[in-house]
Amino acid sequence: MNISYVYVLQWESDDGLYIGFSTDLRRRLKEYQAEKSFATSYRGPWRLIYYKAYLEKADALGREKFLKSGCGRRFLKAQLRHHLLNYPVRPAAKRFYAAGFTRSCRFGRYSNLHACDE
Q: Which domains does the chain have, with CATH numbers?
A: 4-117 (3.40.1440)
pTM exceeds 0.85: no
Give residue-wise pLDDT tens across range 47-75: 899 999 999 999 999 999 999 999 999 99
49: helix, coil or strand?
strand
- CA 72 – CA 12 distance, rounded (Å): 22
Task: Confirm if 28 and 2 have CB atoms less than 8 A apart.
Answer: no
Task: Confirm if 94 and 77 have CB atoms less than 8 A apart.
Answer: no
Which of 70, 28, 60, 61 has its CA nearest to residue 46?
28
